[in-house]
Structure formats: structure tokens, C-alpha cells
Structure 1
Amino acid sequence: MFYRRFKVSGFVLVAIFLIACQPIVQPLPSEPQPPQGLRPDAPPYAIRGPFAVGTRDYVVAKEDHTLLLTAWYPARNPENAREEIRYQLTEGISSVPPVPPARHIIKGRALRDAAPDVAQGPYPLVVHAPGLGGVRQQNPYLVEHLASHGFVVISWEPRGEVLFGDFWQGAATRPLDMQATIDYAEQLTAVAGEWAGLIDMEQIAVSGFSSGGWTALVGGGAQVDYGMCFANPELAAASELSDCAQFVPHQQEIAAMLGLATAPNGLWPAQNDPRVDAILALTVDGDIWGANFEGLAHLDLPTMIMTGSHDTTITPEANTYPVYEQLGSASQAQKNLVVFEGGDHAIFFNSCRDLPWASEIPYFVCADAVWDMDRVHDLINHLATAFLLAELKGDPDAARALAPEQVSFPGVRYETTAYAATP
């Protein structure tokens, strides 16, 4: 082992001392800070938007259940309060960590119950579907970011699902609750509503992560068909936690929950909401659209799908890739595919930094072996925000940011039929 001796002059020591003694100029808490992304190299639409972000919870009594909602929205912040929050997770949800309830939290950047910024509205609506057995505050890095760019985002608490157990009821409750969430948004923004004039109900997108991905596709018009399950019984035999193993044995119950007299053969009736204008899906299941993905053929809404190429939960070769290829095959839908090379399922989840209980769970749940989580979240935010600005607000600059030559980030593969190369 070699040691190097350093000779430091008295001049250098004095200089270091003087620098250390200089007063550190810190901006006052009331001074607004320039917007930034999660990392200094964040691309343009990953930089926090011009709006402060508010968040508010709603408890909606339905006939046979309670719908729990969380909304994020452009807010007023006249005193430039620091945007930070600790979301309290709902006890009893299957994915809540096995730690004391006081630690059932996710850190975020929003102002609790802040007054909405109605003056600059109305704002397009994004209804966000959590993953299997998840919580409505599951993706704050994304939903808060969208709100900062002038969207109202609402997510609901999934019901009838256990993360590592039975989840078949979600085949019915997810599309029903998505529609109920849009209905409630319409009530909020009505003339006599709590948020009168805040939401533009003519511009709506549905988004989702993991099981929320297929939920978003259904909400936008994709039709369920269990033909692939019947044609490939090994799919159900491989795991009791697959969609085929869960949904097929309970078809009659699912049909009844959806108000159908019996389970259909082949394509099920569409469970979409006609008010939806665009779809954002962060990974997508591939075994519930028919033996040849017939349920995706007539989907005709602009769609962006993202995945990690090494997703070990929803393998892209059997799921996301063929879903993208067959989506809109009969309608020539405008579609986009974003692949994060080497990324696993958790790239779309929260960073361990935002989970005080991260030490209680496997590291791979909130981190990735290849991607820095801040970097991949910046890229997700950039592409998702540009897509929604282009489709729901008609923003030409955002559309240009999605031209093939503009999406040239290392480690990202991109395909599009929607955005032409810039001249």
C-alpha cells in the first residue's frame, strides 16, 4: 500500500479558514425557489411546473361501499409555504408495510388542503389507477408533478384485492371505480360544486401503474377476453396469482358485479368511459385481451405505454410488447412505447428515500439494479407530462418533444406512430 504525503502551505490553510468563516447566504423560506427536476440533468418537462400543488382527500359514500379518493391540483400558495407532505396510508390495505401505523406513510411534495387555483383553470383531469392491492397515494412523484403542470389528478383506493392473495374482484371494481371517480370529479367542478369551474371535463386521461395499466386500457376502451387463458391453460397452472388463475374461475361473479346476466364467450362488453380522451399505462398485463389480443384491436385513443425491459413481474415479451403491437390494429390508433432498458417493475414505484419503512421491505421494491430512481422518474415525468400536455392541452411544444429524434436519452428505446420527426 502506498501513502502520499501532502504539503499544505500556510497560505492555503489561511484561505480555507477564511472561506469557512464566510457567512452562508441562504434564501429565506418565503422566497420562491426556481423549479427543478429530481436531478440537475432533468429534461424540460421533468422540471417542476409553474403551479403549487395542493392535495385533498374525499370519502364518497356509495350504495354498497365507500370510495376513498385523493386529489392533486394546481393550488394557491401566496405565502410560498414549503410543499411537503407525509401521506398517511389506509390501514388494512394489503400492500401497507408490516410496521407500526405511525410509519404507514409516503413522503411527497404538496400542500394539504390548499385552496385551488381556480383563476387559471379549468384544468384537464387525469384519473390514476394504483397497482394491485395498492394505495391511492402510490405514485406521488408522478401525480404531484402532473398537478404542477396544470392537471387535476384523482386516484382511488382499490377494493376487493389482496396483494399476495385473491384479487379477482378487481376485474369488476376497477372499471366501476374509475367511472365513479370521473363522476365525482364532475360533481366537484359543477356550478354548485366545491371546485366549481376547476376541472375541464372535456379533456380527460386515464393512467395507471401495473394492474392500473390494464385498468387504464379498459377505461379507454379495450375489451377483456379470456381466450388466451383458455388456449394456454399453463398460464393459470404456473401461478395462482396470475390473471388467468384469478379471473377465469370467477367469471360469473365478475359478470354479476358488472351487471351482466352471464359471463360472455369471447369479447366482454366494453367497460370504458366515453368521456376519456387519452391513456397512459405504466406496464400492462397481456393475458386478458383474447388469444390474439382481439380486445385491443378497436381501441382508438392516443396511448402511451411504458415498461422496463427486464420487468420480472410483468414480463414485457409476453405482455407489454404484444399489447403495444396489437393495440389499435383495426383503428390505426396513435400510440407510443417507451422502454427503459434493463429496468425492472419497481422503476415506476416510489424511491426508497420517500418510504420511511423502506428498511422493512426488500430493496428491489423501491430501487432498481440498473436505473438511478431519480433519473428514471425524471424521464417518466418528462415523457408522461409532454404526452398529456400534447393530447389534452394541444401544446405544440410538448408534441415536438415527443418526436423520435427528441427522445434520445441513453437507455431509453422509443417507438411512436403519433409524433412525426420535426422538419
Structure 2
Amino acid sequence: MKNCFTFLNFAITLFFSIVSYSQKTDFVYGDALPDAPSLSARGEYKVGVKTLEFTNSNQIDILKSKGEQTAFYDRKLKIEVWYPATLVSDQKELVVYDEVMGSSNDPKRPIIPFTFQGRAARDAKPLTTEGKFPLVIVSHGYLGSRLLLTYLTENLASKGYIVVAIDHMESTFRDAAGFPSTLLNRSKDIIFVLNQMAALNQSKDALKGLIDVDQTGLIGYSMGGYGVLNVAGAGYSDNSLKLFGALTGGSKALESRLGSNAEYKTSIDARIKAVVAFAPWGMERGVWDAESLKGLKIPTFFFAGSQDDISGYEKGIKAIYNGAINTDRYMLTYMNARHNVAPNPPPAESLQPGLHIDEYYRYAEPAWNEKRINNINQHFVTAFLGIHLKQKDFGKYLNLPQDSNAKTWEGFKPRSSVGLELLHALPEGK
């Protein structure tokens, strides 16, 4: 009998030890792996999160406009906002995000709801004792959602930024529509949200007075990269009208975003101080040319996969980097990676047998661990935005040998900085 009780006690102890260990080791997107570079760690602030919705009224409906007959509609943009917060004693820094996989315009990829956990407190009280925080606006790809990069949005908020991610109408998993809507509206949505956040800073919202819109950074992935570069000064080329015209049935709606357009040149917003472009799409299609890229003068950090078969590498992302001769710019390349150098890791639901492979390959990289990519992104985005939005002394994390295999990079664990390349170029003449 004594042996039975001894075994029972052992079994109970083992069970609770396993449960406790499981709770301690539950991985949340963005958590630091053992070999995570130093700046990937979360910052000192607790993080709150809330959902808002803005409506941009009377916009051109490019999908319903026919010839000279222009249709108009209201663009409803749902946004997620992460911010430094003050938590009450019983409030946990945990949140469950509601997401979907699939595509609403593809019968082979039905919409499948799923949830995942994040490290933020829903509707927590904003921290009001430390003044304003720089603003960061995040634009997802096509298709995507405002929750595609939570590993990064939460991480930045914990470091003292107010981070806003947009659900671009007609470009998300839930409401996918024709590609011309994304071509026309991506940069316009970003500008609109920047202005809405400036207005929110003067409103009765809980974030009133906390948003430093004069220190704004933009982050875009794929079509989001296409958008943020245009907002920052890389006007679309005159030749791109051939592409836009072919896809939209007419190009007049897009003329206002051409680099040669005087109206566009006056739209470059001095509040924007830094740009991060993950795998920006468009260069291989002629969206930019040598002349239009000269307009990009805001410091920019590009991220790319050397085998990107969506945006292209040598004639795509790297060509943008090389052509942006009037700005201080960096480009980090994940060697042998394809296009997915920005999103969260694949959700567990995407591993189910029988699903379309795109549910997995919307997130996964064939040659890289996505969690590892996330940590490296956190590190370099923290360094870059810290320099330009917070005047942090992070230069040593960017002043690196080009080839990561040659010598362990600053901030990386020994033997861990492999398979990466970092390029840096100053504006022409400097």
C-alpha cells in the first residue's frame, strides 16, 4: 500500500511539473528563441491593444468604375493599435486574436477561422506618465490582415511606440477583391490612417496627447512595401500607367501617385522619419524606374529573401535598394529565403492534412525557421527605428560586415549570425 501511495504521489508531482513546464514554455509569436539577437527582447513597457475603425468617405471605387463613369464608396478600415499601457493588479498581458486563413475570392481556399495568443492586454489603460510615443504604421500584404505581424507590433509597443496595423479593405483574407483596389488604395490608406491618428491625438480618446505623429515610421510587407515606399517619396513611374491601365481599365485614378505629378511631390509628409520595407512588390513590373526612385529621401531599411519569387530579388527588391540613390538605406537579405520574410509563424491550424498548401506557405519559409526570422526582424527594426525615431545609439548593430558568415555580428550569439547579408549605402554624394 505504501508503494502505491508513493507511486501516486510521484505521478501527481510529475503531472503538475509537466503542466507547469508547459505553461512556462508555451510559445507566443515573437518570444525570443535561445539564439535570438539582443535587441529582439521585449522592452520595458507593458502592452495594451485595442481595435478601432476609420471610414474614408467618398473614395473612388476602382472595381465598379467603368470608362468615364467613376463610382464612389466609403472605405472602412479596421485597425489594431498596440501601445504602452498601465495594467491593474489582476490584468494579464495576454490576448486572444481572432484570425482566419483562406481567401474569400478563391473557392479552393475556404475561410477557416482560428485564434492565436499574443502578449498584450485588451483595452488596457494607456501609460500617461512618460509623455508622447513615436507612431508606427504597419501595412500588410495581399492577401493579409492587420494581425499578420503581431510578433513585431507587440514587440515595438513594449519598447515605447504606438503601433497601428491596418486591415486594408478588399485586400484581406476575409474580403479579398480585385487587385486594382490594392494598386490604387494602398498608399492612400496609409496617408489617411496617419492623419486619423493625428486627429485622434487631439480627440477625447484615451490615447489623446500620447501619439508623437511628428516622429512616424512606416512598415510595409509585400504590397504594404509597395505602399509605404510610395508614401515616403518613391512615386510610381510614368511607365507604370501601362500596368495600372491594363489592370484597372483606366489609369487616371492613379495619376496622383506618380513621381512626375506635382500634386504627388507636395504630398510627401515631413512627419515620416523612417521606412521599413519587407519584400516590397512592384519593381519587376515597372512600378518604379531610376527617375521615380530618386524621390525616396527618407531613411529606409529593406528586408529580402535572395530567392523571392513574388517580388523578385536582383531585378526586384535589390534594384529598388540600388536605385534609391538619394536616401540612407540598408538591405538585409535572408539567403535562400523566398518571399515570407515578414509574417508570423504558420498557425497550428495550417498544418492540418488536406488543406491547400497556401494556408501554410502564406507564412512559412522553405529554408528558414519563421520564428528565427521574426527574432532577427525584431532586432534590426528595433535598431533602425530606435536611431531615427528615438535617437538611440544603436549604430553598432547596423555597422556590420556585409557577410554574416565572416564574423559574428554585433548583438548575435556566437556562431548564430549565418546565412545573412547586410548592405548599406549613403545618399549619392555623401
With structure 1 as the length reference, what TM-score do the two structures score?
A: 0.78
Aligned residue runs from structure 1 range 55-70, under 5 A: 55-64=49-58, 65=74, 66-70=76-80
Q: Partner of 1:73 in structure 2? A: 83
Compared CA separation, residues 69 and 379, structure 1 to 2 (3 A):
same
- CA spacing shift, 1:191–1:375, aligned 2, 3 Å: same
Give the 4+ runs in structure 1 shifted more than 6 A.
Answer: 20-23, 90-93, 162-165, 263-268
Letter of the structure 1 residue corresponding to residue 250 of structure 2: H
Return the match for 1:171 from 153, 178, 183. 183
Q: Distance in 1 between matches of 2:366 and 2:101?
A: 30
Task: Give the deviation of 1:158 after TM superposition.
Answer: 1.0
Q: Partners of 1:201 and 1:306 in 2: how far apart?
A: 24
Can you list the C-alpha shifts for 1:85-108, whole angstroms capped at 9, x where unaligned? 2322489974896245xx244443
- Cα 1:288–1:104 shift into 2, 3 Å: same
Higher strand share: 2
Query: How many Å apart are 1:41 and its aligned residue?
Result: 1.2
Deviation at 1:24, TM superposition (A): 4.9
Residue aligning to 1:356: 349
1:45/1:162 CA distance change after superposition, 3 Å: closer
Distance in 1 between residues matched to 2:344 and 2:213, nearest whole Å: 29
Counterpart of 1:49?
43
Aligned to 2:420: 412
Contact 1:226 1:287 in 2 (8 A): no
Q: Which residue of 2 aligns with 1:381?
A: 378
The residue type paired with residue 190 of structure 2 is M
Contact 2:276–2:381 (Cα < 8 Å) also in 1: yes
SS in 2 for 1:343: coil
Q: CA deviation at 1:200?
A: 1.1
> Which residue in 1 is equivalent to 2:340?
346
Aligned equivalent of 2:304, options 307, 325, 344: 307
- SS of residue matched to 1:203: strand
Distance 1:186 1:350 in 2: 28
Stretches of structure 2 that go unaligned for 5 or more consecutive residues are: 1-6, 24-29, 59-73, 402-408
Q: Which moved more, 1:90-99 or 1:313-322?
A: 90-99
Asked if 1 retains the 8 angstrom alpha-carbon contact of 2:236 and 2:259, the reply is: no
For residues 47 and 107 of structure 1, do their structure 2 counterparts lie closer, same or farther at Cα, with a shift above 3 Å needed? same
Give the distance between the partners of 1:291 and 1:77, measured in 2 at CA.
46
C-alpha separation in 2, matches of 1:317 and 1:131: 20
How far has the Cα of 1:336 moved from its partner?
Answer: 0.4
Give the direction of change, closer, same or farther, for the CA distance of 1:226–1:169 in structure 2 (3 Å limit): farther
> How far off its partner does 1:80 sit?
6.9
Number of the residue aligned with 1:223: 235
Pairing partner for 1:326 from 323, 331, 346: 323
C-alpha deviations, 1:239-286, integer Å up to 9, x for none? xxxx78535x4312434xx5x9xx998898345433211110001121
Are the counterparts in 1 of residues 45 and 160 from structure 2 also a CA contact under 8 Å?
Answer: yes
Aligned counterparts, 1:90-129, within 5 A: 94=104, 98-100=110-112, 103-129=113-139
**Could you tell me which residue of structure 2 aligns to residue 3 of structure 1?**
none
| 1:278 matches 2:278 | no
Q: Distance in 2 between matches of 1:88 and 1:153?
A: 18
Give the Cα separation in 1 of the matches to 2:185 and 2:16: 58
Q: Per-residue displacement from partner, 1:165-222 (whole Å, max 9, x unpaired)?
A: 6211223322221111111211222264431221112200111101001111011111
Query: Paired residue for 1:33?
Result: none
Match of 2:390 in 1: 393
**CA distance in 1 between partners of 2:273 and 2:205 (Å):** 23
| Amino acid in structure 2 at the alignment position of 1:303 | T
Rounded to whole Å, the distance in 1 between the matches of 2:331 and 2:310 is: 18
* Matched position secondary structure for 2:313: coil
Query: What is the CA–CA distance in structure 1 between the aligned matches of 2:251 and 2:161, rounded to whole Å?
Result: 36
Q: Structure 2: how far apart are the matches of 1:160 and 1:226?
A: 25
- What is the alpha-carbon distance in structure 1 between the residues aligned to residue 384 and residue 117 of structure 2? 26
Unaligned 5+ runs, structure 1: 1-13, 30-35, 231-235, 237-242
Percent identity between the two aligned chains? 23
Which deviates further from its counterpart, 157-166 or 67-76? 157-166
Say if 1:343 and 1:368, in contact at 8 Å, map to a contact too: yes
Q: How does 1:8-19 map to 2 (within 5 A)?
A: none
Three-state SS of the structure 2 residue aligned to 1:306 is strand
Shift of the 179–265 alpha-carbon distance from structure 1 to 2, 3 Å rule, reads: closer
For residues 349 and 22 of structure 1, do their structure 2 counterparts lie closer, same or farther at Cα, with a shift above 3 Å needed? closer
Residue 198 of structure 1: aligned partner:
210
- 1:11 corresponds to which residue? none
- Do the aligned residues in 2 keep the contact of 1:76 with 1:117 (CA within 8 Å)? yes
CA distance in 1: counterparts of 2:238 and 2:245, whole angstroms: 7
* CA-to-aligned-CA distance 1:127-162 (integer Å, 9 cap, x gap): 111111321112111111111111111122112447
Cα distance, 1:347 vs structure 2: 3.1
1:269 is aligned to 2:264: yes
Q: Structure 2 vs 1, CA of residues 351 and 392 (structure 1 numbering), >3 Å: closer, same or farther?
A: same
The match for 2:251 is 251
Deviations 1:23-55 (A, max 9, x none): 95969x9xxxxxx94301111111111112111
Between the aligned partners of 1:317 and 1:184, the Cα distance in structure 2 is 37
Structural RMSD (CA): 3.5
- Separation in structure 2 between the aligned mates of residue 313 and residue 187 of structure 1, nearest angstrom: 36
Aligned CA distance change for structure 1 residues 289 and 275 (closer, same or farther; 3 Å)? farther
Contact 1:53/1:110, CA 8 A, preserved across alignment: yes
2:396 counterpart letter in structure 1: R
Cα shift at 1:228: 6.0
8 Å Cα contact 1:89/1:105 also seen in 2: yes
User: Counterpart of 2:369?
Assistant: 372
Secondary structure (helix, strand or coil) at the match of 1:182 reads helix
Is this contact kept in 2: 1:225–1:268, CA < 8 A? no
Q: Is the 8 A contact 2:387 2:395 kept in 1?
A: yes
**Distance in 1, Cα, partners of 2:194 & 2:400:** 33
